[in-house]
Amino acid sequence: MLNRRAVSFLLIIAVLCAGGCETARYKRFQTEFTGLFDTATVIIAYAQSADEFGLYAEIIYNRMEELHRLYDIYNAYEGVNNLYTVNQNAGAAPVEVDRDIIDLLLFAREGYDLSGGAVNVAMGPVLRIWHEYREEGLALPPMGALLEASRNTDINDLIIDEAGGTVFLRKPGMSLDVGAVAKSYAAGLAIRAASDAGMISGLLSAGGNVTAAGKPMDGRNRWGVGIQEPEPSADNTREQADTVYCSDTTVSCSGGYQRFYVVDGQAYHHIIDPGALMPANLYKQVAVIHRDAGMADLLSTALFILPYEEGAALAARRGAEALWIDTDGAWRATDGYAAISKTLSDYSASDGSP
């Protein structure tokens, strides 16, 4: 009888720690650095050794760096045709480019159609003017100059020859700016490369856009991804607006609080509405959650620019979840967002599917 009791006791213990024993082999590792896509990068992963983590971090870094060079519009690199090369050859000649550039631009053109032109990678001439004035920090760009530049932003003049492997900007004044899509698109590819090498549990933050692979190997079913308040509080602290619990997905935020300058007491940020040629000003911040990293980033920019009804319809069409924080601080969220939100539900990281 004692034996039976002992056996049943041991069985109970075994069942209780089965989950924990599997995760006990995994430790959490992390590294953070700058230098890619003009932003900070953070890699977090659960791995069985520091060497294993180092391998994943190296794969992610190398892939991101390769894509950073290809998608760079400001610098030329020896022996590489990148988007800078494409822009330099606007109106002159098609440029032979890497497949990664063709794929990004095909994706961006799809994004243009999806968003009704709200996200347009051919907006380079207009964004360049805003960039220069923001760096100067003194005045607003004259509307005449913006209008003049906007004549060379027709995405139909971006000629992608998939079979020939070339890209051509048909008019001389054209230029590409992939700032709204490139870093998350690259993060998605980098995470995939690490997953192919065996990473089962990782997070990659590219400038605040967070891509999650798998779930955390510490017993929880979901990662907790915080959503930062768009503006610092009165005592200059960055509060946390919310936390969403998710796995195998990307959380992307768009807002006007990172890159902006002030003219006559008014802040002007970097997300330009292609219709108005001025910074979009409907919301403080939009957060989008989508399985595809590039799509999450593209949609967060699109939703930040589009009126709520149009944005909500677009999110629904693409199966994305979203949170809109209005300029007066009011929240609007999709039902799917609310279901995984700490603030809007009782959900927590240890729960299963919502």
Binding site for other proteins (CB under 8 A): 1, 4-5, 8, 30-35, 38-40, 42, 44, 135, 203, 205, 208-210, 216, 220, 223-228, 232, 235-240, 243, 251-253, 255, 258-259, 287, 342, 348-349
Output 95 or 251, the one with its CB closest to other proteins: 251
Q: Which is nearer to other proteins, 166 or 205 (CB)?
A: 205
- Residue 324 in contact with residue 307, Cβ under 8 Å? no
The type of residue at 27 is: K
127 vs 210, beta carbon nearer other proteins: 210
Angle formed at CA 255 by CA 137 and CA 34, multiple of 5 degrees: 75
The token pair that represents 129 in the structure block: 């003017």
For tokens 């709520």, name the residue: 308
DSSP summary character for residue 168: E
Nearer to other proteins, 161 or 239 (CB): 239
In the complex, the smallest distance separating the C-beta of residue 45 from other proteins, rounded to whole angstroms, is 11
State which residue, 150 or 343, has the beta carbon closest to other proteins: 343
Beta bridge partners of 243: 226
Residue 179, classed as helix, strand or coil, is coil
* Smallest distance from other proteins to CB 81, Å: 26
In the complex, minimum distance from the CB of residue 105 to other proteins, in angstroms, rounded to a whole number: 26
Question: Which stretches of 254-350 are DSSP H helices?
Answer: 293-305, 308-317, 335-339
Q: What's the closest the beta carbon of residue 152 comes to other proteins, in angstroms?
A: 28
Q: CA–CA separation, 42 vs 214, rounded Å?
A: 17
Choose between 19 and 275: whose C-beta lies nearer to other proteins. 19
Smallest gap from Cβ 12 to other proteins, in A, equals 9
Instruction: Find the shortest distance in angstroms from Cβ 128 to other proteins.
Output: 17
The CA-based angle 340-271-35, given to 5 degrees, is: 80
N-term to C-term CA, the chain: 44
Torsion angle, alpha carbons of 260, 262, 267, 269, to 10: -20
